[in-house]
Amino acid sequence: MSSIFDTTVPAGAFDAFELEAAPASAAQPLWTPDDGPLPSLYISHGAPPLLDDTEWMQRLFAWAQSMPKPKAVLIVSAHWESAPLMLSATGAATPLVYDFGGFDRRYYEQRPDLIAAGRALFGAQPYRLATLGYDSVLLTLRVARDWRPGAPFPLARLGDRGGFLGLDGPFRFSDNGTVERAFEVNEVRPGGVTVVSPAPARFQD
C-alpha cells in the first residue's frame, strides 16, 4: 500500500492539481441572493503531506465547486480569544510561519501569493491587514519629531487616551500594555459586505 508521505516529487500532486483546477475555479459562478445561505465549515489544521494527497484535494475542490463562489468569507478562529490580539498579513512579501519540522525542503519554500489568490477568488483586492504592521512605524515617526537626541524617551506620549491614527483606524495602549484598536464595522449581508460604522479618527472616551 502506497503512502502519501513517500513521494518522488514533494508537493508535485499539488502542482498538477493547481493546473487542472484553476480553469474550473475561474469559471465558477458567483453567489447571488437567490442561492440562499452558504454552509459553515469547520477547518482543522493541516500538514505538509496533504499537498501530496490528490484525492483529498480533489474531494475538497469538488465540494467547493458544488456551490456558487461566495462574495465574502467570514473566518472565526479560537486563537482570537487570546490576548493580546495578534494578526498576520495578506501582503505577497509576508513570510509564512512553518510550525513543523523534518519534511522535505520544498514544503518550507511554498510561497503562495495571497493577494493574487484573493483577487482571483473574489474579483477584488483583499482587505489590507498588512497595514497594521505599518502603524508602529508611523507612531515611531510621530514620537521622533519631538524626541531630541540624548533626551529620555517621551514615554508619557504613549499613554494618549485619544490614541494615534493608523492606516485603518485609531489605536492606543491600554494600562496593561496591550493595544486597543477602533476599526470600521462591516456586516455580511445577502449580496455582499456593508460598512455599518466607519472607523473614527480618535477614541472618544
Convert the pLDDT of each residue in 76-92 to its tens digit.
766 555 555 454 554 44
User: Mean pLDDT throughout 189-202?
Assistant: 82
Closest to 39 measured CA to CA, from 79, 66, 77, 58: 66
Highest mean pLDDT among 74-78, 128-132, 187-191: 187-191
What's the pLDDT band for 119 if we cut at 50, 70, 90?
low
What's the pLDDT band for 1 if we cut at 50, 70, 90?
very low
In tens, the pLDDT along 38-79 reads: 888 887 766 777 888 888 889 989 999 999 988 777 777 665
Whether residue 88 contacts residue 98, with contact meaning beta carbons closer than 8 Å, is answered with no
**pLDDT above 50 (res 160):** yes
Out of 56-70, 116-130, 147-161, 191-205, least confident range: 116-130
d(Cα 57, Cα 69) in Å, to the nearest integer? 17
Q: Where are the domains of the chain?
A: 12-122, 131-197
Whether residue 134 contacts residue 167, with contact meaning beta carbons closer than 8 Å, is answered with yes
User: Mean pLDDT throughout 12-33?
Assistant: 87
